[in-house]
Chain A
Amino acid sequence: MTTTYDSAATTRILVVEDDQRIRASLRLALDDEGYVVDEAPTGEDAVASFTANPPDLVLIDVMLPGMDGFSCCQALRRESDVPIVMVTARTDTQDIVNGLEAGADDYVTKPFVMKELSARIRALLRRAHPLAQGDTGDMASAKFGDLEIRQDEGVVRQDGTDLHLTKTEFRLLCELAAHPGKVLSREDLLDRVWGYDYFGDGRLVDVHVRRLRTKVETDPANPRHVLTVRGLGYKLAP
């Protein structure tokens, strides 16, 4: 089972995990799938390694000695829109939401099934290069009120100024923009943006929509563009 993504040999994954055995087993597994693996036992090491060898994807354990996973995630997010997967301890606490709020694109809970983690990693990497397929339609650019979405350039402008969106947020916005006025359910969005239908969790969509709103809405509490249709999903309005 090797990744189908082109030039897999040069795809670097940074594993931030304090447990040495988990790091070793993850290195084995990811190495097996053809990724180059960098290891960091602490958040501080992760930030250093990130600058030295910029990875294509980062896997961060929430519980780290010293700088915790959330802070580490925020620190990396300030520097880059690299896809980040959080490894959380619990399924029902704030951990997941906190991780996503800190800027993670996705999460897995410990202990995770390796196949599931691989699937998520592949989906995230695929998403990081959206222009390869152009699967969101032939829309090169679209305007929604004060928002200008230039998919060909990978930028969103509001009244002429560039907004800094992560790749996931950008994909989310593009998917909504590709179906103007149409309601997309959480499942639709999980499928189209995250690229898997059944691992998903509605919270992924909800938290990303919330984060997107803080960037594209003048008043995130009363959104004008990214609207919730209760019980159905989300839609984009001019």
Chain B
Amino acid sequence: MTGATGARHRFRRLGLRTRVTLLFAVGSMAVSVALAAATYATARQFLVHQGETSIEHQAFVNGSLILADLRSPRPNLPQDLLNLDNGPNTDSVVSIDGKLFASSVTGRSNPVSPSLQALVSHGTPATQFTLSSGAPALVVGVPLPSVNAIYYEISSLDQAARTLRFLLLTLALGALVMTIAGAVVGRWASGRVLRPLANVAQAAADLAGGELGTRLDTSGAADLSRLAASFNRMADNLQARIEREARFTSDVSHELRSPLTTLSAALGVLDTHRDEMPERSRKALDLLDAEVHRFEAMVADLLEISRFDSGVAELSLEEVEAGELLHEALRAITARTRQADSACEAGIPVETTAGAERLRLLIDKRRIERVIANLVDNAHTYGDGVRRLVIEAPDPAHVRFVVEDRGPGVRQDERLLVFERFYRGDASRSRGGTEGTGLGLSLVAEHVHLHGGSVWIEDAPDGGARFVVELPRGHEQVPGPSSEQTGTRQRGRKSSPALLGTAS
């Protein structure tokens, strides 16, 4: 890569706004410098020309005065030189037969260059620019052949030079101001032009973040409204697609329920007659029964999860005490497992940190009961049962429900994966192998995130895994006694500041 293309690449990498600003600055600088240069050149030429003309004129006049003096019977040259009507910036020198008489008393060396002397001594008037003690000066030589003399006049151009310097400074300052103004205008204009683009960027970011309803305003400038319209069309398609997918899951689950209901009812009939069946049929019936139940649970979980996916999951908040909630969840589990004729260890120890079980929470009771039930189920399936349940209050605004199991714990690299849908870890770890719906823990995460809480896995102090659910205790305002049953409904928030939501 050559240096030029490298620079071009670096330039492209700069922001569009910076590039436009830079281009404006460079452009206005180029224009103002060119203007300044032209102005300076013209002014300089004018000043010099004018100075030259007037100095020559003056020199001829003075030359003729000197000639008259030299022709007079009593020439008094030095006095006459002083009498010449010269400004302070002009020196006069008269050379008679190579002898010099100067008006200045400062006694400097002959300022007239030999080349000019040679030129004038041939009888032609001449001028020459020179430097007189550091300042530019014009020397005019007027031959006075009739008296064999030459009149030189040395006029300092210092005044003109100073004027030009001042002009140059002014023009440079002007160019600088123009350049800065160009940069400012460029920055402002690019900002104005790019503002709709910034809106598009923000909208795209929102869309990517899951805000599927994000749309742009199409009423702006014509060329931008085309972009906005295309963006909106894309967003429409995306939203329709995502909704169609979510609806598909929901529809499939809904459609599965009718045959399942039939299956379940028919199984109920068979079950009442199981005593009349031969052993083999009874075994087949038990298998059928267990699988239909699992199928039912799976469809129920799929329906639940499809409601999250389509964004219609709503919190139905009510006020409960943490301890009461936990015990109700346990009671429901015991009831369910008793119903399914499977062994469930009675009396899971529940521990609470000081007064945490009396904490009042404003939560969706059904969802949090499911969360606890799913975690307990998980402990039974993968963790050799529940060691203990804990209610903690890490701070006044939060409550934690902790489920500790007796299993080998969860490997660090699986601690987020287990919350994925249908995640099956190391199959050997599962006692039953095919128990559960594969959606239990992902539903835990969804329910918890809907509450704006988070869930994570730690190592329990005495071995095993420790599933921690942390929930905000809910809004400060508590519903009045008469409106309690109504509860508050709240739209599901897709993006909750939860641990699992941010990790990927």
Interface residues of A (CB under 8 A from B): 1, 19, 21-22, 24-26, 28-29, 32-33, 89-92, 109-116, 118, 187, 197-199, 201-202, 206-207, 209-210, 221-223, 227-231
Question: How many A-B contacts at CB < 8 Å in the complex?
Answer: 110
Segment among B80-88, B314-322, B421-429 that sits at the interface with chain A:
B314-322
Within 8 A of A (CB), among B232-273: 254, 257-269, 271-273
**Bound CA–CA A25/B483 (angstroms):** 41
List, in ascending order, chain B residues with CB within 8 A of A92's CB.
304, 307, 313-314, 316, 366-367
User: Are A198 and B319 neighbours in the complex by a CB distance under 8 Å?
Assistant: no
List, in ascending order, chain A residues with CB within 8 A of B367's CB.
92
User: Are A28 and B266 neighbours in the complex by a CB distance under 8 Å?
Assistant: yes
User: Are B267 and A198 neighbours in the complex by a CB distance under 8 Å?
Assistant: no
User: Are B264 and A114 neighbours in the complex by a CB distance under 8 Å?
Assistant: yes
Instruction: Specify the main secondary structure of chain B where it touches its partner.
Output: helix
Segment among B34-42, B125-133, B190-198, B293-301 that sits at the interface with chain A:
B293-301
User: Are A19 and B293 neighbours in the complex by a CB distance under 8 Å?
Assistant: no
Minimum Cβ distance to chain B for residue A224 (Å): 11
User: Are B293 and A112 neighbours in the complex by a CB distance under 8 Å?
Assistant: no
**Bound CA–CA A229/B482 (angstroms):** 9
Segment among B15-23, B43-51, B331-339, B452-460 that sits at the interface with chain A:
B331-339
B358 to chain A: closest residue by CB: A231
Minimum Cβ distance to chain B for residue A103 (Å): 17
Q: Which of A25, A109, A202, A207 interacts with B265 by CB under 8 Å? A: A25
Interface residues of B (CB under 8 A from A): 254, 257-269, 271-273, 293, 296, 299-300, 303-304, 307, 313-314, 316, 319-321, 324, 328, 331-332, 334-336, 339, 360, 365-367, 481-485
Q: Which of B265, B293, B331, B482 interacts with A29 by CB under 8 Å? A: B265
Knowing A19-B262, A221-B482, A230-B484, the reply to whether A115 touches B268 (Cβ < 8 A) is yes
User: Are B303 and A25 neighbours in the complex by a CB distance under 8 Å?
Assistant: no
A111 to chain B: closest residue by CB: B260
Knowing A21-B262, A32-B272, the reply to whether A110 touches B482 (Cβ < 8 A) is no
User: Are A25 and B254 neighbours in the complex by a CB distance under 8 Å?
Assistant: no
List, in ascending order, chain A residues with CB within 8 A of B320's CB.
231
**Bound CA–CA A113/B294 (angstroms):** 12
List, in ascending order, chain A residues with CB within 8 A of B321's CB.
231
5 closest pairs, A vs B, by CB?
Answer: A114-B268, A198-B335, A25-B265, A206-B485, A111-B260
Besides A111-B261, A198-B331, A230-B481, 16 other A-B contacts (C-beta < 8 A): A21-B262, A22-B262, A25-B262, A25-B266, A29-B265, A89-B254, A92-B304, A92-B316, A92-B366, A111-B264, A114-B271, A118-B268, A206-B485, A221-B482, A227-B481, A231-B321
B296 to chain A: closest residue by CB: A111
Which of A22, A111, A199, A210 gathers most chain B CB within 10 Å?
A111
Minimum Cβ distance to chain B for residue A202 (Å): 7
List, in ascending order, chain B residues with CB within 8 A of A22's CB.
258, 261-262, 265
User: Are B366 and A110 neighbours in the complex by a CB distance under 8 Å?
Assistant: no
User: Are B319 and A231 neighbours in the complex by a CB distance under 8 Å?
Assistant: yes
Minimum Cβ distance to chain A for residue B225 (Å): 40
User: Are A21 and B258 neighbours in the complex by a CB distance under 8 Å?
Assistant: yes
**Bound CA–CA A184/B483 (angstroms):** 18
User: Are B300 and A207 neighbours in the complex by a CB distance under 8 Å?
Assistant: no
Q: Which of A32, A111, A207, A229 interacts with B485 by CB under 8 Å? A: A207
**Bound CA–CA A210/B263 (angstroms):** 36
User: Are B482 and A26 neighbours in the complex by a CB distance under 8 Å?
Assistant: no
List, in ascending order, chain A residues with CB within 8 A of B484's CB.
206, 228, 230
List, in ascending order, chain B residues with CB within 8 A of A26's CB.
265
**Bound CA–CA A78/B268 (angstroms):** 33
**Bound CA–CA A199/B299 (angstroms):** 19
Minimum Cβ distance to chain B for residue A230 (Å): 6
**Bound CA–CA A115/B303 (angstroms):** 22
**Bound CA–CA A24/B267 (angstroms):** 13
Minimum Cβ distance to chain A for residue B305 (Å): 12
User: Are A228 and B300 neighbours in the complex by a CB distance under 8 Å?
Assistant: no
Q: Which of B258, B331, B366, B483 interacts with A19 by CB under 8 Å? A: B258
List, in ascending order, chain B residues with CB within 8 A of A187's CB.
328
A20 to chain B: closest residue by CB: B262
List, in ascending order, chain B residues with CB within 8 A of A207's CB.
485
A-B contact pairs, 27 of them (CB 8 A): A19-B262, A22-B261, A22-B265, A25-B265, A25-B269, A29-B265, A29-B269, A32-B272, A89-B254, A89-B257, A90-B303, A92-B307, A92-B313, A92-B314, A92-B316, A109-B300, A110-B257, A110-B261, A111-B263, A113-B264, A115-B268, A115-B339, A198-B335, A223-B482, A228-B485, A229-B481, A231-B321
